[in-house]
Amino acid sequence: MRTEDVGRHLYFFSLALMAVGLTLSPFLMGASQFLIMGVWLFTGEPVKVKFNRFLRNKVAVIVASLYLLHLVGLLYTSDYAYAFKDLRVKLPLLILPLVLSSEKPLDKKHFDLLMLIYVASVFVATCVSFATYVRHDYGDIREISRFISHIRFCLNIVFCIAVVCHYTVEKQVAKGGSVPPFNLKVALDHFLRWFMLIWFLYQIYLFKSISGYMALLGFVIASLVYVFFAKVKTTGWRVALLAFIIAIPLAVGVYLYRTVTPMFSEPEVDFATLDQKTALGNDYWHDTVCFPAENGRWVGLYFCRPEMREVWNQRSTLDYDGLTLNGENLEATLARYLTSKDLRKDASGVAALDAQDITNVEQGVANYECWSRSTLYARLSETAFEYNQYRRHNNPNGGSLSQRIEYTKASLYLIKRHPLFGVGTGDILNAYQQAYDETQSPLEPQYRHRAHNQYLAITVGFGVVGLLVFLVSLLYPFCSSKGRRTYLYTVFLVIMMVSMLVEDTLETQAGVMLFAFFNSLLIFAFPKSTS
């Protein structure tokens, strides 16, 4: 075998390892990038020729400028230990554009095989997660993602949905849109594609991740917009499709408004009309200050702790004054659960719970409707309850939305203080801690993190100038060439940019590798004959 062929095989092998490692192995994520760099250095054409090819590729240099931005940030930083750690995590932002832009694009056969390996790897990872879910071997649903964070995992799953859709449509187009005679192999292939689509959609539903739902919505809208501009030419169909595109976000907005609004309602209470005694003659405690309203009902009304304690301890092995199986306060969980079923917090209320209700409370389910309805409703209800607590008691700790509000406040505070060039590559973490202290944030130390928004994170680190560099590196490849606006690249870019609104996607190894790998692959290594 020729040396050139060996190099090409090793090059593809390293890409395949990356595709597998994205969801199955952080070790492979790290090892594969050094393997591909070794292949680039020691096989094929001389390094000087490859490097010059990279420098002559304007798009490649612009994509890699995001890493160069972090290098420039070293000039005005003080914490070099953190800076070099950050540079190491983000090394794929330099390595992958450098290597893939200076190598030949993949042929369609190898590109398709690489995507198949990726989808199969994500499928295996979802099977592991589902097995964990079935065994109930987790405290929080997010923990069923065994290899990477559930948020990055959901982004991979959504992109896999896009990949399966792409090849399903491509297959149908190749057949001219006609229905072929029955063939067992073809039928099995068709079944597997639809099974994978349904399976991946179910996984997003299972994780009840707001980021995952947002990425999925972004994928759907991006797909329809792509079809509108690239595929549909008839005026009638274009009008119908445009109406559908507009209707989707409107429908989502109406659903959210109608679902979330009641979650924030706080009904008026006339304390003079409330019963003061339980059926057993004990005193009720009525409180609308310490306990919030949830889904339009006050948790603190009709509260009789002694009766709740006695009946609960008769029905459950978990102590009333202890914790649920997932570590939450049992009394508070029970009170919220009874409220969600419109039951009073007394002996009769606890006695009215069935065996499934008792199990739900023991497992930390605080709202009956969250158990009986969709996981999206459950996630929205949890978020609304957390925000109500934050709004009433200025306590953001432990709440996803309320913590993000505090992160945003700290980010804007830092941006005002360092508007042009930011705080530098290594001082971001220290700057945030200082901002929380100076603004007297109610966040406890263990919750004081960086902005869960990539655009804010970049602006804090490198200022408005850095944000402009970042946006150019994201959008220039897509805008500069019509031929580069393929379906897969379009939906991938939208999924990533949507995720960056609610997550600092590029601040972890899994997020950086996902972005750098497919951004470079779909820009520089995409087969020329594929659309």
Q: What is the pLDDT of residue 414?
A: 96
Give the pLDDT band of residue 327 (cuts 50, 70, 90): confident
In the DSSP assignment, the letter for residue 139 is S
Count of Cβ atoms closer than 10 Å to residue 116 Cβ: 14
Label residue 414 exposed, middle or buried (CB < 10 Å: 0-12, 13-18, 19+): buried
Is residue 460's pLDDT more than 90?
yes
DSSP output for 498-516: HHHHHS-GGGSHHHHHHHH
Q: What is the pLDDT of residue 179?
A: 53
Is residue 387's pLDDT more than 90?
no
Is residue 97's pLDDT more than 90?
yes
At which residue do the structure tokens 């094929």 appear?
44
Of 365, 347, 348, nearest in space to 356 by CA: 365
CA atoms of 114 and 100, how far apart (whole Å): 14
**Core vs surface per residue 490-523: b (16+ CB within 10 A) or e:** bbbbbbbbbbbebbbbbbbbbbbbbbbbbbbbbb
* Sequence-ordered alpha helix ranges (H) in 58-209: 58-72, 80-89, 92-102, 108-135, 150-174, 184-207
Q: What is the pLDDT of residue 181?
A: 61
pLDDT for 419-435, tens place per residue?
999 999 999 999 999 99
Stretch among 117-126, 248-257, 393-402, 454-463 having the lowest mean pLDDT = 393-402
Tokens, residue 330: 């049992």
Instruction: Give the helix/strand (H/E) hosting 330.
Output: helix 330-340
Is residue 172's pLDDT more than 70?
no
Q: What is the pLDDT of residue 266?
A: 77
pTM: 0.88
Q: What is the pLDDT of residue 28?
A: 93
CA atoms of 167 and 192, how far apart (whole Å): 12
pLDDT for 34-73, tens place per residue?
999 999 999 888 999 999 999 999 999 999 999 999 999 9
Contacts (Cβ under 8 Å, ≥6 apart) of 310: 347
Of 23, 282, 26, 56, nearest in space to 160 by CA: 23
